[in-house]
Structure 1
Amino acid sequence: MTKIVVVDNHGQFTHLERRALRDLGVDTELIDNETPPEEVDADGVVLSGGPDMDRIGHSADYLEAGVPVLGICLGMQLIADELGGRVGGGDYGGYADVTVEIEDENDPLTGSLHPETRVWASHADEVKELPEGFELTASSDVCDVEAMSDTDRDLYGVQWHPEVAHTEEGEEIFENFLEICEQ
């Protein structure tokens, strides 16, 4: 059975990320972000959302763990920040229901949602510049970088929260990530 761990960055919806994976039949565990990757045996990692880049613990170390990584909200921002992208304050601010345009219908994470989907996202902070090796896979009228992928390194990120009921096709993001982890 495929195992995917959720690294807890103290987000208010983190427990829902674990539940979404469990509901797909995935062996999943919620782990504290102070847990080093060498202590974890998993086929994939979800870096959860959270309130603050100062409280990410060992989350960045999972980018070198050799398994697929999905960053959600803060998780995506820390991927960008660690790998040479740029993160800054969003113009829109807090949580909102947003229509996201899927840029690449062949992307393994978001492509199945093409041409667009409705999501629940926070834009207090967001990725302003992609790190080297990443492709823009989704955008919206409130955020230029709603999702990004580096398929060579199996690193993926979404600004929105696929785990909440307000995101129309959120379960599909987790299904697609599970498929990536099983390859």
Structure 2
Amino acid sequence: MTTIVVVDNHGQFTHLERRALRDLGVDTDLIDNETPPEEVDADGVVLSGGPDMDRIGRSADYLEGDVPVLGICLGMQLIAEELGGRVGSGEYGGYADVTVDIVDEEDPLTGSLHPETRVWASHADEVKELPEGFELTAKSDVCGVEAMSDTDRDLYGVQWHPEVAHTEEGDEIFENFLEICER
């Protein structure tokens, strides 16, 4: 059975990320973000959302592993910041229902979504500049980088929260990530 851990960055929806994976039949655990990666045996890692970069613990250490990583909201931002991208304040701010445009139909994480899909996202902070090796996979009129992928390193990120009911195709993000982890 495929095992995917969710690294808890203290986000309000983190438990829903674990539940979404469990509902797909994935063996999953929610682990504290101070857990060293060498203590984790998993086929994939989800870096959860959270309130701020000051509380990410050892999350960045998981980027050096040899398993796929999916960053959600803050998780995506920390991937960008750790790997040379730039994160800054968003113009929009809090949570909102946003229409996202999928710009890369070949992307293994977001490519199967409808060309326009409704998501629930926070834009208090957002990726302003992609790190080297990443491709833009989704954008909106609220945020220029709604999703990004580095398929060579199996690192993926979405600004939105696929685990909440307000996101139309959220389960598909987790299904696609599961497929990536099972390759």
Shared fold, TM over 0.5: yes
- Distance of 1:182 and 1:60 partners within structure 2: 22
CA displacement at 1:65 relative to structure 2 = 1.0
Per-residue displacement from partner, 1:116-167 (whole Å, max 9, x unpaired)? 1100000000000000000000000000000000000000000000000000
- Distance of 1:153 and 1:45 partners within structure 2: 13
Q: Work out the percentage of aligned pairs sharing the same amino acid.
A: 92
CA displacement at 1:33 relative to structure 2 = 0.1
- Distance of 2:24 and 2:91 partners within structure 1: 35
Q: Which residue of 2 aligns with 1:13?
A: 13
Counterpart of 1:142 in 2: which secondary structure? coil
- Distance of 2:114 and 2:47 partners within structure 1: 24
| Conservation of the 8 A alpha-carbon contact between 1:44 and 1:181 | yes
Counterpart of 2:22 in 1: which secondary structure? helix
Q: Which residue of 2 aligns with 1:24?
A: 24
- Distance of 2:123 and 2:132 partners within structure 1: 22
Counterpart of 1:144 in 2: which secondary structure? coil
- Distance of 1:141 and 1:113 partners within structure 2: 18
CA displacement at 1:54 relative to structure 2 = 0.4
| Conservation of the 8 A alpha-carbon contact between 1:8 and 1:33 | yes
- Distance of 1:43 and 1:67 partners within structure 2: 6
| Conservation of the 8 A alpha-carbon contact between 1:33 and 1:57 | yes
Per-residue displacement from partner, 1:22-71 (whole Å, max 9, x unpaired)? 00000000000000000000000000000010000010000011100000
Counterpart of 2:93 in 1: which secondary structure? strand
Moved more, 157-166 or 108-117: 108-117
CA displacement at 1:114 relative to structure 2 = 3.6
| Conservation of the 8 A alpha-carbon contact between 1:104 and 1:114 | no
Counterpart of 1:75 in 2: which secondary structure? helix
| Conservation of the 8 A alpha-carbon contact between 1:85 and 1:128 | yes
TM-score (norm 2): 1.00
CA displacement at 1:174 relative to structure 2 = 0.0
- Distance of 1:12 and 1:96 partners within structure 2: 15
Per-residue displacement from partner, 1:62-110 (whole Å, max 9, x unpaired)? 0011100000000000000000000000000000000000000010000
TM-score (norm 1): 1.00
| Conservation of the 8 A alpha-carbon contact between 1:103 and 1:114 | no
- Show structure 1 runs of 5+ residues with no match: none
| Conservation of the 8 A alpha-carbon contact between 1:126 and 1:145 | yes
Residues matched between the structures, number: 183
- Distance of 1:150 and 1:11 partners within structure 2: 24
